[in-house]
Amino acid sequence: MARKSPEINAGSMADIAFLLLIFFLVTTTMDVDTGISRKLPPPVEEPDQDIDVKDRNVMKVLVNSQDRLMVNGKPADISELKNLTKEFMAIYPDDGEHPETTERFIEELNRNVVTSKGIVSLKNDRGTSYQMYIAVQNELAAAFNEMKEEESMKLFGIKYSQLVDENQIKAINAIIPVRVSEAEPEDIGGS
C-alpha cells in the first residue's frame, strides 16, 4: 500500500564522507608513544641517611656537563658502557673484585638461583644534555635487556621478548632485576 518512495540521491554521499575523512586526518595524530620507562624512588626524608652498600657492589656512572662519561673512576666511552655493565653484572662467585652474589629462591622455578648484588648508580650534572642522558639510560637498558635475553635462552630456550608464560617472565625479572639507581642530584662540576 505504501507509496512508491522517491529514491534519495546518494551522489553526494562520497563528498560528505571525504569531508569527514579529511577532518579526521587533520585533527588526529598517528604517533605511538614510546620511550624508556623508569621508576623514581620515593623521596628520602633525611638525605644524609645513606643505605650502606658495599663499594664493590656499585658501578658508578658519572656524566659531566661536557657529556663525558666516567665509569668507576675511569673515563669511558658511551659505546663501551653496555659491555662494562654486562661485565659488571656477570656472576663471579668468590671473587673479591666483582659484586657479591647471593642465592635467591625463585618461586616460579622452585629452586635457588645465584644472582648478583650489583647496582648501577647513575649520576649526572645539571649541565648534561638530555640527549646524552637518554643515550646512557638506553645503553644501561640495553645491557639489562641483553642479560635477560641470555638468561631466557639458557633457562627456557626462547628469547625473552618471545616469552608468553607469565611465570617465566616473572622468573627472568626476578633473576635479573633492572637495578639502576639515580643519585640525589648535585653539581659534579666541570662547566
Binding site for another protein (CB under 8 A): 10-11, 13-14, 16-18, 20-21, 24-25, 27-30, 32-43, 78-79, 124-135, 137-138, 141-142, 145, 185
Report the residue number, 59 or 132, with the smaller CB distance to another protein.
132
CA distances from 154 to 37, 119, 151, 171 (A): 26, 23, 5, 13
Report the residue number, 75 or 185, with the smaller CB distance to another protein.
185
Pairing of strands 69-71, 74-76: antiparallel
Identify any residues that bridge with 104 across adjacent strands, giving them in sequence order.
113
Contacts of 159 (CB under 8 A, 6+ apart): 149, 152, 153
Look up cell 659484586; give the residue: 99
Report the residue number, 17 or 114, with the smaller CB distance to another protein.
17
Minimum gap (Å) between residue 7 Cβ and another protein: 12
Report the residue number, 39 or 154, with the smaller CB distance to another protein.
39
DSSP annotation of 108 reads T
- Cα 93 to Cα 116: distance, rounded to the nearest angstrom: 9
Pairing of strands 74-76, 119-124: unpaired
- Cα 69 to Cα 143: distance, rounded to the nearest angstrom: 16
Minimum gap (Å) between residue 150 Cβ and another protein: 15
Minimum gap (Å) between residue 3 Cβ and another protein: 24
Minimum gap (Å) between residue 135 Cβ and another protein: 7
Report the residue number, 16 or 91, with the smaller CB distance to another protein.
16
Minimum gap (Å) between residue 108 Cβ and another protein: 22
